[in-house]
Amino acid sequence: MATRPSAGSTGTSQSLERGLAILSSFHSDRPLIGVSELSRGLDLSRSTAHRYVATLAKLGYLQQDPESKRYRLGPKVLDLGFAALNSMDLLEISAPHLRRLCDETQRTVNLAILDGTDVVYIERYRTSQQGQREIDLNLHVGARLPAYCTAMGKAILAFVPEERLAEIIEQIDFVPRGPNTLTDAAAFRAELEKIRQSGISVNDEELAYGLRSIAAPIHSHSGEVLAALNLAVHRTVVSMDELIARFAPAVIKTAHEISVSMGHRPQPS
């Protein structure tokens, strides 16, 4: 009985799935991988792994290092990420607002969306002057962080419909990451309630020591939450109270402006 080894794979393509698994095997810290290594990691035969790799290489998604004979990601994969970014008109619309916020406050500002339990950075404006030399983790566009310990993640989740929110919270693994990380669902829900009332989300070293930020949600024309923007500083630069006092109004105002540009009606009559 149960002759079907994997029942969940109805209506999907095994080959495509495996090929993409190969692509995702390449990380920043693992840039060069050989065929055998891949076949072992994904439990495929060397021939099969090689066929996929050859296909990916032929299309430009992988390229072979002439010396080591192993493979690395090719420039073609950039095209995909690039296309994804530009597909979002959210980006175009918010760009000028973010830039202005960055100019006026002289702080780093970010834009992120929610994907599962993560936030994904979509845009980033940093000030070149500040002393804080990129010490903030490596937060490029495309970077992922767990939503529960970021100001932007909380800002978004605070306005996600209860039904979906329950599913998401179910999947969150509340791991302490900074001095003040919220580590249980109850405290987290209370925090979301606070955000819903105040309209501003704060992160006081919940993600990492020294890292503070405030964030506000961005809504679509239909009212659902789309994204969030934040403004980040280091603890040595400003206290939490000062951070809120000085920057919260501008952050909220910018988020509102972007929402309105997206077609959002602030007060549905």
Q: Does 70 bind a second copy (CB under 8 A)?
A: no
Q: Which is nearer to a second copy, 64 or 180 (CB)?
A: 64
Q: Which is nearer to a second copy, 83 or 186 (CB)?
A: 83
Q: Quick check: helix, strand or coil at residue 32?
A: coil
Residue type, 44: L
Which 133-162 positions form the footprint of a second copy (CB under 8 A)?
Answer: 138, 140-144
Q: Quick check: helix, strand or coil at residue 240?
A: helix
- Residue 180 CB, nearest distance to a second copy (Å)? 27
- Residue 21 CB, nearest distance to DNA (Å)? 11
- Residue 124 CB, nearest distance to a second copy (Å)? 11
- Residue 266 CB, nearest distance to DNA (Å)? 27
Contacts of 44 (CB under 8 A, 6+ apart): 18, 38, 52
Kindly tell me which residue out of 34, 37, 54, 238 binds a second copy, with binding defined by CB under 8 A.
54
Separation CA 209–CA 211 (nearest Å): 6
What the block records as the tokens of 2 is: 């149960």
Give the chain's radius of gyration (CA, Å): 22
Query: Which residues are at the interface with DNA (CB under 7 A)?
Result: 10-11, 13-16, 18, 34-37, 44-48, 50-54, 64, 69-70
Count of CB atoms situated within 10 Å of the CB of 237: 15
What the block records as the tokens of 102 is: 């960055």
Separation CA 77–CA 23 (nearest Å): 9
Strands 62-64 and 201-204: unpaired
Kindly tell me which residue out of 34, 55, 185, 235 binds a second copy, with binding defined by CB under 8 A.
55
Q: Which is nearer to a second copy, 139 or 185 (CB)?
A: 139
- Residue 176 CB, nearest distance to DNA (Å)? 38
Name residue, tokens 């493979």: 71
Residues that bind a second copy (CB under 8 A): 11-20, 23-24, 26-28, 31, 50-52, 54-56, 58-61, 72-88, 99, 102-103, 113, 115-116, 120, 125, 127-128, 138, 140-144
